[in-house]
Structure 1
Amino acid sequence: MFSAPAIQQLLSDTYQELVWKHPGTYRYTQKAVFDRYVDSLKSTITDSLSELEVYRKLKPFIARVRCLHTDVSLPQSYTDSLNQLPDLLPLQVELINGHLYISRNFSGDSTIHMGSEIVAINGRPVDSLLAEILPAIATDGYNETLPARAVYHLFPLLYRNLIQLTDSYKIEVRLGGIKYRYTMAGKSYTALAGNGFLKEPVPEKQLAFTVQNNTGFLTVHSFAASDIKAAGQKFSSFMKKTFTTLEEQHIPDLVVDLRDNTGGSDANAALFCRYFFDTAFRYWDRIVVTDSIAREVKGIVKLFYRKPVYKNGEWLWLKGRLTREFDFYKVQRPAPHNYKGRVYVLINGFCMSSCADVAAILSHHHKAVFFGEETGGGYQGNSSGMMPHTSLAPTRLQLTVPLQGYYNAVAADKNYGHGTLPDVPVQAGASEKDATMEVVLQHIRQRGK
């Protein structure tokens, strides 16, 4: 247990850490608004709190930065111990228009019908639970599609970590206007976690390309070099072969599936964009850092990173000396075999980070028609890059703060606080992934007619 004064000081120290290091602390929330929120949060702490209770105070506070790369986490050893306990709700749920519906049932009770609406859990109405859970999910800006995806993939963990630690669940559901009540035992993380549920899915191949009926289908599950390498693939050679094939076979339509691509290497993302341009273009407009971080680039550090320059009221981060990860604010050139046909891109709320950057650049230059739902990452960019962890004493909680603020070379006022918006919105549930693809195929068939 930690005393109230200790936790209040922890909040002050955490806020100061954000202001010193995070280049976008006030990107979406004005300083005066943030100050009032912190003061209000401190006033709610009147007694000692456990480490988990401190975490529950900090999660919505950190989410107020509105940056999906900024987070606070429980100590891994504690999480590992929790995951051994039967403390998770044995249901996968889907959030649709503010309501929770059962999509998968792991309780062993066959009388529970899929599609039933959950009305309450352990006596608390669902709207009350969502009012605590959703504001604690980190997003870029005011995005709502990412939290909905997070609820679908992670709800049992969100409930346990943010609401209640228990091994027994009483749920009330509604189906066909009739309410039903069920009691079920919790299950452990090991018993429930599967590919895409409670943990990140790992496809056999991160990159896939086929041609069917004179249409190309390109799936990019990740831009992360480590993920692609683990799948036995190489991004640059794969893309070169793909776009050479498109050119040689004169394929008129290309469907690009970026859904659930959470980002990765900026080099891969920028290279990918180059295949859709036949003239020079800008990828990033600039990279900024705080005054405190700019002043840290001195001494031996300058062997690796150039000293930021102060321009127009901002500290601008420059290209690294030994790395290319900060190069892409320079003018980008088209790739050989760049595609000149019609492009259709599938997006959803789990298109994050560099994947969201790709969508923004292609959308800004009208290089594709977008189908699905708003990307989870910001249209104007994000804060990421180097992301060190800070221990929040006296607890064991860890704070992750990104040090670079990336601004995409797009209109500064379009989609502000949001991601790339689809040209053709498709209201498909998280469990209905192929519904968006079918809309795209209908669009292509209609064009053919």
Structure 2
Amino acid sequence: MKSIQYILLFFLPISFLACGTAKDSFDPNKKYSSAKLKSDYKIFRNVLEESHPSLYWYTPKDSMNYFFDYGYAQIKDSMTEPQFKTLLSYVIAKIDCGHTSVKYSKQYTKYLDTAKLRTFPLALKFWPDTMVVTMNLNRRDSILRRGVVLTKINGLSPSQLTDTFFQYIVTDGYSMCGKYQSLSTGFAFANFYSNVFGLTDTFNIHYLDSAGSEKETAIPVYDFKADTMNRVGVTKEQLSGKRKKAPPHFAFFASSNLQLDTTGGNAFLTLNTFDRNNHLRKFFKKSFKALDENHIKNLVIDVRSNGGGDAGISTLLTRYLIDKKFKLADSLYAVTRKSKYDHYIEKSLLYNTMMFFVTTKKGDGKYHFGYYERHYFSPISKHHFNGEVYVLIGGNSFSATTLFVGALKGQKNVTVVGEETGGGYYGNTAWVIPDVVLPNTKLRFRLPRFRLVVDKNRDKDGHGVMPDVPAPPTVGAIKKGIDFKAEKVKDLIESGNSVSR
């Protein structure tokens, strides 16, 4: 044992030194030659054309070919990793699949975790022809505070900015609400602005003052290294534009919480994920028992920040609420079981083995996941909730969350409130989603392997789940920090109204 300890003591400092050297040697500004970029791009295109089951679902083949060719033609010189990622993001967004997106290499992602990069200082909320300040990193700025409406940034109007950035944002089908919400989450706008336009030392801002008159001001780029005393406290998730998980109140777990108003007979259930690692099965069991024992009449379920997760978990929640048997899918299939590019696909052996055992090739040449095409799920009888249900949705409601909301929509005791989901109502492309790693730049992109059609009788119009009661944002609500969707539900409960369907 001692000899092993001596060996470990000898090698550990070397391993730490090696790790430190590798970290120090990473150059985020490294440029890749056009030859290497073109090689990566060909793999990017070939993998998608071979294995993506819905490449032409919303965009015809000739149009996708045009975008693929256009992207390749832009590789005229060397590029940095962010520049190449921006190019791939432009092309991949044309698929109109929210599960197919481009990610930085693992090394660059680690670099961003600690890098203090200059940035556009404002977080903004967008909806058609409108952009409103929600946060300002410079707390000394007395003009551009929360709720101030901006009319131009460096000469570009809200519609010009969204028309540009939407070209790089993935969503299911034609859900514009999903794109508006993606641009409005945290400091996502700042990231898009930097990647697409680049940063200037100052930004010319046109805004509306309290009297509604248009005014003009200039603000500097925000430098985290220079300003350590006056910045607003901002989390890493906000800066990256990732969804922030709500803090627990009367919570069992941090990603979910249940609040009970036993006097009024109301409950508010927040679910920010359907991830299988969040102990949600236990949480649901305890929650619905509490709803039953406390004779709750009105249940509000907030899934506005829920980007999805495990469809088995979302199905379990559905079973506590739905009043009939239901299927997850009319069809669920892949176009290939394995790929000739498997050496670029992470965990390909695991996924290929799984697909061999769970899929069957049918007459259409596709590999069908027959269990989910045949199986009907039944409502859970014990502690089943039969009162009024109000489901809060928005552009960040995606994937398994859309399956949950879509299954309940139209039920007589369910009212869906908010804005269109970012996830498709007719179906999506997901289920198994490995990363593909490009060999030269190490950029990664997500490759969904299955195409899911929930219900072939639903309209295939490219939209998400639409609310029964719309609750769009307003400037006044943003300025006052009012949760306008929750207020709409409160009004419905107090008036005793739900939407008749």
Residue by residue over 1:179-202, the C-alpha shift from the partner in whole angstroms, topping out at 9 and shown as x without a partner, is 212131323499764276234323
Query: Is the 8 Å Cα contact of residues 416 and 468 (structure 2) preserved in structure 1?
Result: yes
The aligned counterpart of 1:309 is: 360
Query: Is the 8 Å Cα contact of residues 387 and 413 (structure 2) preserved in structure 1?
Result: no
Question: How far off is 1:85 after superposition?
Answer: 3.3
Residue by residue over 1:282-339, the C-alpha shift from the partner in whole angstroms, topping out at 9 and shown as x without a partner, is 12223210135499999995478516223352524437xxxxxx75862101112222
SS in 2 for 1:291: coil
SS in 2 for 1:331: coil
The residue correspondences of 1:40-79 to structure 2 (distance < 5 A) are 40-79=70-109
Q: Which amino acid aligns with 1:242?
A: S
SS in 2 for 1:142: coil
Of 425, 431, 434, the residue aligned with 1:379 is 425
- Pick the structure with more strand per residue: 1
Of 258, 262, 277, the residue aligned with 2:303 is 258
Question: How far off is 1:444 after superposition?
Answer: 1.7
Larger Rg: 2
1:333 corresponds to 2:374? no
SS in 2 for 1:412: coil
**What is the total number of aligned residue pairs between the two structures?**
435
Instruction: Give the root-mean-square deviation of aligned CA atoms.
Output: 3.1
Q: Which amino acid aligns with 1:310?
A: K
Of 327, 332, 337, the residue aligned with 1:282 is 327
Query: Is the 8 Å Cα contact of residues 96 and 174 (structure 2) preserved in structure 1?
Result: yes
Question: How far off is 1:8 after superposition?
Answer: 4.8
SS in 2 for 1:379: coil
Query: Is the 8 Å Cα contact of residues 87 and 160 (structure 1) preserved in structure 2?
Result: no
C-alpha spacing 1:78/1:165, structure 2 compared with 1 (3 Å): farther
The residue correspondences of 1:125-140 to structure 2 (distance < 5 A) are 126-140=158-172
Identity of aligned residues (%): 26
Q: Which amino acid aligns with 2:165?
A: I
Q: Which amino acid aligns with 1:117?
A: V
Question: How far off is 1:10 after superposition?
Answer: 4.0
The aligned counterpart of 2:489 is: 440
The aligned counterpart of 1:357 is: 403
1:155 corresponds to 2:186? no
Query: Is the 8 Å Cα contact of residues 84 and 188 (structure 1) preserved in structure 2?
Result: no
Question: How far off is 1:261 after superposition?
Answer: 1.0
The residue correspondences of 1:23-422 to structure 2 (distance < 5 A) are 23-81=53-111, 84-114=115-145, 115-122=147-154, 126-153=158-185, 154-165=188-199, 168-175=201-208, 176-188=212-224, 193-194=234-235, 197-198=238-239, 199-202=242-245, 203-204=247-248, 205-212=254-261, 213-226=264-277, 228=278, 234-291=279-336, 293=338, 302=353, 305-306=356-357, 308-311=359-362, 313=364, 315-318=366-369, 330-336=375-381, 337-363=383-409, 365=411, 368-409=414-455, 411-413=457-459, 416-422=461-467
Q: Which amino acid aligns with 1:185?
A: V
C-alpha spacing 1:126/1:357, structure 2 compared with 1 (3 Å): same
Question: How far off is 1:125 after superposition?
Answer: 5.2
**Larger CA deviation: 25-34 vs 126-135:** 126-135
C-alpha spacing 1:38/1:219, structure 2 compared with 1 (3 Å): same
Q: Which amino acid aligns with 1:183?
A: I
C-alpha spacing 1:235/1:25, structure 2 compared with 1 (3 Å): same
**Larger CA deviation: 42-51 vs 347-356:** 42-51
Q: Which amino acid aligns with 2:90?
A: P
What TM-score, normalized to structure 1?
A: 0.86
Residue by residue over 1:114-166, the C-alpha shift from the partner in whole angstroms, topping out at 9 and shown as x without a partner, is 33333444565554443331121110111111222222221112222232145
SS in 1 for 2:496: helix
State the distance in 2 between where 1:294 and 1:364 align. 41
**Larger CA deviation: 261-270 vs 127-136:** 127-136
Question: How far off is 1:17 after superposition?
Answer: 0.8
State the distance in 2 between where 1:387 and 1:208 align. 28
Q: Which amino acid aligns with 2:43?
A: D
State the distance in 2 between where 1:124 and 1:299 align. 48
SS in 2 for 1:36: helix
SS in 1 for 2:448: coil
Query: Is the 8 Å Cα contact of residues 132 and 149 (structure 2) preserved in structure 1?
Result: yes
SS in 2 for 1:209: strand
State the distance in 2 between where 1:86 and 1:12 align. 31
State the distance in 2 between where 1:51 and 1:294 align. 26
State the distance in 1 between where 2:357 and 2:79 align. 44
C-alpha spacing 1:250/1:123, structure 2 compared with 1 (3 Å): closer
Query: Is the 8 Å Cα contact of residues 389 and 414 (structure 2) preserved in structure 1?
Result: yes
Q: Which amino acid aligns with 1:445?
A: E
SS in 2 for 1:24: coil
C-alpha spacing 1:246/1:288, structure 2 compared with 1 (3 Å): same
C-alpha spacing 1:333/1:164, structure 2 compared with 1 (3 Å): same
Query: Is the 8 Å Cα contact of residues 361 and 408 (structure 1) preserved in structure 2?
Result: no
